[in-house]
Structure 1
Amino acid sequence: MDAKQAFRAIKQGNVSPIYVCYGTESYIMNEFIERLMEQLVEPEHREMAVVRFDTAETPLDVIIEEAETLPFLVPSKIIMVRDSVLFAAGKESNKVEHRPEKLLAYMGQPSETTVLVFVVPHEKLDERKKLVKTAKGNDSVISFSPLQSEELLQWLLKRASNQGRSMDKQTAEELLRRVGTDMHALAAETDKLCLHAGTGGSVTLESVRSLVPMATEQNVFKLTEELAALRTAEAITLYYDLLKQREEPIKLMALLVRQFRNMLYVKELGSQGYSPQQMASQLGLHPYAVKITGEQARKFSQERLASMLSELADLDYAMKTGRVEKSLGLELFLLRTGSQGAS
């Protein structure tokens, strides 16, 4: 099942005895686990009712024994198990021996007083394993993948609305441009803006621009936009601001290389008929990052992107060997790129 179905089920009181939660969106996964705990355990009982393990340190036999043991002084308990070896393709430690057949047997007859939750922080499960097939057959597997760009915007609007504040889509987009797609950071910045707006107030575009600092990676996104639009002066001003923030030119260059490379990949994958979702999976990017990268890539030809990557490779060598002063070398690259444009 997907995350939305899982949230809906526990809200209706339909709690499964076993969950296998996997995916790269840790914020939503943590939120699901928190909702599950709220449904099953009183806040004052959490110390006794929540047990935590890690399969990298604890044998499966010990975990199953705990699952089969009746809870102490509480009606039910939750066992949280961080895992990379049972359900994913992680390498097992030589110090810890697991017997998957014990878990398979438990899946057939789980305890009525225990909810066993496996947290697998991987993009995919190992579909070859019988444990994965059995868990899927029992509808115990939940996927927590990054939200699509439109879903992320709606999530920001809803978070503000839930706090009695309003926010329009343009403001939410500016917040995304400044913070990026990390939902933990987005939640913190949204809450800060809502506090500033006050009860019944509005989170405005001006408040986002004045209160939310631009993350380094987002500044590099902006830098490439300025270069593509031939706004060389704006690009150089942004570069100077980053230097004032003590950002290392070599780090900034590495981020530029990554962004130009991603733009080239997006153009190539797009020409092969890949969808944005497929591109995100292929490149290991958030869907929103693919959307922004695709918009930027349309302003550059493939030949121009390849040429800039070649220039940056030469510059990297020159900077690291001392042939070029680092900050000046990158500034000259920006000036040349801005004057030559995207074609």
Structure 2
Amino acid sequence: MEAKQAFRDIKQGNIAPLYICYGTESYLMNEFTNRLVETLSEPEHREMAVIRFDTGETPIDVIIEEAETLPFLVPTKIILVRDSVLFASGKESARIEHRPERLLSYMAQPSETTVLVFLVPHEKLDERKKLVKTAKANHGVITFAPLQAGELQQWLFNRASRQGRTLEQQAAEELLRRAGTDMNALAAETDKLCLHAGAQGTITADAVESLVPMATEQNVFRLTEELAALRTEQAITLYYDLLKQREEPIKLMALLVRQFRNMLHVKELGSQGYSPQQMAGQLGLHPYAVKVTADQARKFSQERLAALLSELADLDYAMKTGRVEKTLGLELFLLKTASAGAS
């Protein structure tokens, strides 16, 4: 089941006794559990209604025993279990012994007064396990994958709209460019912009530029764009700005290496016919990041990207061994790269 359907089910009051939530989009997973808690319990009773466990610290026998115990002073008990062992391929702790058959028995006849939710922060479940096969066949298995670029923008529009504000298209694009794809950061920045816009106000691109600082990784995206466009002055100015923000040259170089490497991988996968969604899965990137990276990669040849990575590897060694002063070394690399261009 996709996250959107799970949210619709909660809204319609269709709540299952057992959920296995997995995926890398932690914000949506947390939002799902928050909606469950809000729907099933009153604010003043939530301390008694919500119980949290971690399979890295608590045996499944103890968790199931709690699930089978009648709730105290509340109609429904919500048990949230963080798990990397039972449903994923995480390594079990030597001091914690789990009996999966105990959970299998519970899954066959779950308690009517408990909603048991397993939160698995992994991209995939371990399909070899009987627990996973049984859950997929009979229970609510929900995937929380990163939103596509268009979905992420629509989510921003909806968040602003729920607060009585209008988010312009260009403002949404600028917000993503500045804050990146982390939904926790985007939510906080959107709420801040809504406050600034006022009741029934409109959030403009100018407001985003004024109020939302550029995240370091997003500045590295900009830096590669300036290098590809031969805008030497802008690239060096951006580098100086990052230094003023106390960013370490070695950290910036590592981010540049990662971005150039991702660009090279995107070009290689694109030549093999991979879709952006498939690339995101292969590279462990957000789909929006793949889109931005692909746009940048078009400005570089594969040979040029490979050469830049080789130069950065040499520079990394020289900086870490003291042969080159860090700040000056990276500045000289940027000057040379911007002058040479992307070809």
- TM tier relative to shorter chain: over 0.9
Aligned residue identity for 1:43: P
Where 1:94 maps in the other structure, the secondary structure is: coil
Equivalent in the alignment of 2:123: 123
SS across alignment from 1:89:
coil
2:288 maps to amino acid: Y
AA aligned to 1:105 is S
- Please tell me the residue identity of whatever aligns with 1:98: H
Q: Which residue in 1 is equivalent to 2:42?
A: 42
Map 1:17-28; keep pairs closer than 5 Å: 17-28=17-28
**SS of equivalent to 1:71:** coil
The residue that corresponds to 1:226 in the other structure is 226
Per-residue displacement from partner, 1:26-62 (whole Å, max 9, x unpaired)? 1011111111111111111111111111111111111
Q: For residue 170 of structure 1, report the CA deviation from its aligned partner.
A: 1.1
SS in 2 for 1:98: coil
Q: Distance in 2 between the 1:131 and 1:6 partners?
A: 21
How big is the alpha-carbon RMSD for the aligned residues of Structure 1 and Structure 2?
0.7
Aligned residues: 343
1:238-317 matched pairs, under 5 angstroms? 238-317=238-317
3-state SS of paired residue (1:81): strand
Query: What TM-score, normalized by structure 2, do the two folds share?
Result: 0.99
C-alpha deviations, 1:59-89, integer Å up to 9, x for none?
1111111111111111111011110000000
CA distance in 1 between counterparts of 2:244 and 2:73 reads: 58
Which residue identity is paired with 1:313? A
Displacement after TM superposition at 1:139 (Å): 3.5
- Give the Cα separation in 2 of the matches to 1:139 and 1:109: 11
Query: Where do residues 1-343 of structure 1 align in structure 2 (5 Å cutoff)?
Result: 1-343=1-343
**Does the residue aligned with 1:141 lie in a helix, a strand or coil?**
strand
Encode CA deviations 1:274-306: one digit per residue, 9 max, x unaligned: 111111111111000000000000000000000
Q: In the TM superposition, what is the alpha-carbon distance from 1:119 to its structure 2 partner?
A: 0.5
Given that 2:18 and 2:139 are in contact with CA atoms closer than 8 Å, whether structure 1 keeps it comes out as no
For residues 93 and 222 of structure 1, what CA distance do their matches in structure 2 show? 43
TM superposition outliers: structure 1 runs of 4+ over 3 Å: none
2-structure distance, mates of 1:140, 1:97 = 25
Unaligned runs of 5+ in 1: none
* CA deviation vs aligned residue, 1:199-231 (integer Å, no higher than 9, x gap): 011111111111111011000000000111111
Q: Distance in 2 between matches of 1:252 and 1:51?
A: 42
Kept in 1, the 8 Å contact 2:170–2:204? The answer is no
The gaps in structure 2 that reach 5 residues or longer are none
Asked if structure 1 preserves the Cα contact closer than 8 Å seen for 2:10 and 2:36, the reply is yes
2:72 maps to amino acid: F
